[in-house]
Amino acid sequence: MSVDGVDVTGVDRDTLTRPIRSFSTRYIAALAVALGLIGVWLFFYSRQLRHGLIVTNLADWGSGGGVPWGLYIGAFIWWVGIAHGGIILSAAVRLLGMDTYQPVARLAELLTIAALTCAGIFILIHVGRPDRLVTSVLPAWPTRVQWSPLMWDVTVITAYFVLTATYLALTIRYDVTRLRDRLPDRLEPLYSALTVGYTEREDEVVERMVWWIAFAIIIMAPLLLHGGVIPWLFSLLPSMAGWAGGVQGPSFLSIALTSAVAGIIIVAAAFRYAYGWEELIPRAVFQGLAKWLGFFSLIFLWLQLQQVITGIFAAPTTLQHATEVKISTPLYWVAIGLVVLAMLYAFATALRPDLFDLRALVGISVGVLFGTLTEKVLFVVEGLQHAHFALYDGVPGQYVPSAVEISAVLGTIGVVVLFFLVVSKVIPVVELHAIEDHEEVDA
Amino acid sequence: MTALAPLTALIAAVAASVPTVAASPAAVPLSAEYTLPFVGPGTYLIFGIVLAPVYAMVAAWFLGDPSDRFAGLLGVGYLAGLTTVLWGSLFVATLIIGAVFF
């Protein structure tokens, strides 16, 4: 496996399973931080459950400048976007044969599951009473799926989650069977369930099955979910000038892919640092990911340019107004600036590899995640505030995310950290295939 | 006037044959949604287009080479089982919320 100078086949199985077998104060510290973030969120969320959405700035048309969709929905889109990292890497490895990225493919798939869970959490908390997902959404689904983009969204995100989890469940059978002697005995019932009916004869069949899962997801998730159903939640509403138009599909997708690569870089760098995996996840993997980040940032910026130019040059009155508001918002330019920085850094380090620094790349990736979240929240909020009709002109106040909403973003970040901390103690977070191309399967 | 009578009758006949255009432009369907039979457009969009890659995937699990009946059923079991667990757990949570708080 020596594409682009990346060859990790010299890494042994003990290194691969190091997260499962080791336990450190750093792990406890990370666990404490994750639980702390979740605790802060649960404290605020308990207030929301007790008093209702009035404790947020999303209560109804009568507060926060008439914005019933704000940080919750912006964060929902953001998390679904980050989730796309899994399929990007799986597609690169399975469909395109880019084995360079195999050491981080499973980390990315796990990020997909964690991020989709967080996206679901935002829907759950935004509907007010959490049982409404069952008492309202499920009974209405058979009829409303015919007409409602909200129901399309629920349907396709469920499919995305299930496909990704199935992908993981099928690929993990190979690894668990061969690494069983290095896995904890107390989890034997779980490993037995995961590998039920396993025989070596299935390897070839399962490899083909997961190729088809990657194929199905690469069409469904980026193109038809984040470039389709999710932007349709907005772009099918012609009453909101800032939301309408076919450009929202590709624009949403470009933002998703940019944030997804940033998310993978952060997660992979964290594992590399925590477990001394310099050999398993070499620098060349991050240099490759940096190029992807630069390319997706370029597409992101190009589509923003399309929207701004068509919005301010002889545009319909309401679209022009919405665009003028957008480009006069300082935070918008902060978001754009962070993505420009990422693009310039990626291209600069591609031209001059000696400029590459992993810590700088991680910092820039954090900036990209902040920028993409900001852009999405502004899109949602300003789209509502500057509609074709003047419904909100008399609505007092201006939307600013409340502490309850901000705590939810922090809490979901804590959920993702906790997810990785727990999962990395149970299953190998790097595929065995990454190190065994030149070794005997059962060596 | 009598010379124009056949023409008047022809115009009347044409108008009668295309009543939606000649008599009431507003009767022209405003959206393609009404042209889809049986169910609304979302059903065709989601189950006909968006989920089409999933159908191809499942078909390939059983029809391609190499394929295996057990592995294919395992995959389908995961798809059905995970969907059930996902929404079933929400259903159970709803029952618990109902029992504890209401």
Q: What is the DSSP track for A372-394? A: HHHHHHHHHHHHHHT-SS-TTTT
Q: What percent of chain B has pLDDT over 90?
A: 53
A129 touches chain B (CB under 8 A): yes
Please give the single-letter amino acid code of residue A183. L
Residues 142 through 171 of chain A touching chain B, CB cutoff 8 Å:
145-149, 151-152, 155-156, 158-159, 161-163, 165-166, 169-170
CA angle B86, A19, A171 (to 5 degrees): 45
Q: Give ipTM to 2 decimals.
A: 0.90
Comparing B17 with A121, the larger pLDDT belongs to A121
Tell whether A46 lies on the interface with B, counting CB pairs under 8 A: no
- Kindly tell me if the per-residue pLDDT of A10 is higher than 90: no
Record the tokens describing residue A35, joined without a space.
Answer: 């639980």
pLDDT tens, A112-151?
999 999 999 999 999 988 999 999 999 999 999 999 999 9
H helices of A52-201, in order, are 71-90, 102-126, 132, 138-144, 149-178, 188-194
Confidence of residue B8 (pLDDT cuts 50, 70, 90): low
For residue A206, give the H/E element and its range: helix A202-218
The per-residue pLDDT for B4 is 53
Q: Are B88 and A133 in contact (CB under 8 A)?
A: no
List Cβ neighbours of B59 (8 Å cut-off, separation of 6 or more): none
Half-sphere exposure of A306 (CA within 13 A, CB side): 14
Residue B71 banded pLDDT, cuts 50, 70, 90:
very high
Residue A386's pLDDT is what? 85
- Assign A56 to helix, strand or coil: coil
> Does residue A1 carry a pLDDT above 60?
no
What would the pLDDT profile of A373-424 be if each residue is shown by its tens digit?
999 999 999 888 888 876 667 777 788 999 999 999 999 999 999 999 999 9
Residue A293 has pLDDT above 50, yes or no: yes
For residue B30, pLDDT over 60 is answered with no
Kindly identify which residue of chain B lies nearest to residue A158, measuring between CA atoms.
Answer: B83
Tokens of A440: 């005997």
B49 touching chain A per CB within 8 A: yes
Query: Which of A209, A220, A233 to probe the B interface (max B CBs under 10 A)?
Result: A209
| Closest residue in A to B56 (Cα–Cα) | A216
> Measured between CB atoms, does B36 come within 8 Å of chain A?
no
Please name the residue of chain A whose CA is at the shortest distance from the CA of residue B88. A134
State the DSSP code for A326. H
Q: In this predicted structure, what is the pLDDT of residue A66?
A: 75
- The distance of Cα A186 from the centroid of its chain, to the nearest Å, equals 32
Residues of chain B found within 8 Å of residue A134, distances taken between Cβ atoms:
87, 90-91, 93-94
Q: In which band, very low, low, confident or very high, does the pLDDT at A243 lie, cut at 50, 70 and 90? A: very high
pLDDT tens-digit map of A39-56? 999 999 999 999 988 899
Q: Is B27 exposed, middle or buried (0-12, 13-18, 19+ CB in 10 A)?
A: exposed
Q: Is A170 in Cβ contact with B42 (below 8 Å)?
A: no
- Residue A385 confidence (pLDDT): 84
Return the ∠ at Cα A432 (arms to A427 and A434), rounded to 5°: 130
Q: What is the pLDDT of residue B28?
A: 58
Confidence of residue A67 (pLDDT cuts 50, 70, 90): confident
Give how far Cα A355 sits from Cα of A297, A344, A361, Å.
19, 12, 11
DSSP state of A248: H
User: Residue A262 pLDDT more than 80?
Assistant: yes
Q: Under DSSP, is residue A432 helix (H, G, I), strand (E, B) or coil?
A: coil
Q: Name the residue facing B75 among A158, A166, A204 (closest C-beta).
A: A166
User: Is A147 within 8 Å of B40 when comparing Cβ atoms?
Assistant: yes
- Quote the tokens at residue A297: 């940032």
Interacting residues of A440 by C-beta distance below 8 A, sequence separation 6+: none
Residue type at position B81:
G
Cross-strand pairs, A128:
none
**pLDDT band of A443, cuts 50, 70, 90:** very low
pLDDT reading at A369 higher than 90? yes
Alpha helices, DSSP H, located in chain B? 5-17, 19-22, 41-43, 52-63, 69-101
pTM metric for this prediction: 0.90
B83 in contact with A, Cβ within 8 Å: yes
Q: What is the pLDDT, as a whole number, of residue A51?
A: 92
Contact B94 A229 (CB under 8 A): no
Percent of chain A, pLDDT > 70? 95
As a dihedral over the C-alpha atoms of residue A127, residue A131, residue A136, residue A138, rounded to 10 degrees, the angle is 120
The nearest alpha carbon in chain A to B81 belongs to A162
B41 close to A178: Cβ distance less than 8 angstroms = no
CA proximity to A60, closest of A140, A153, A154, A128 = A128
Q: Do B87 and A158 touch (CB under 8 A)?
A: yes
CB-based contact B71 A209, cutoff 8 Å: yes
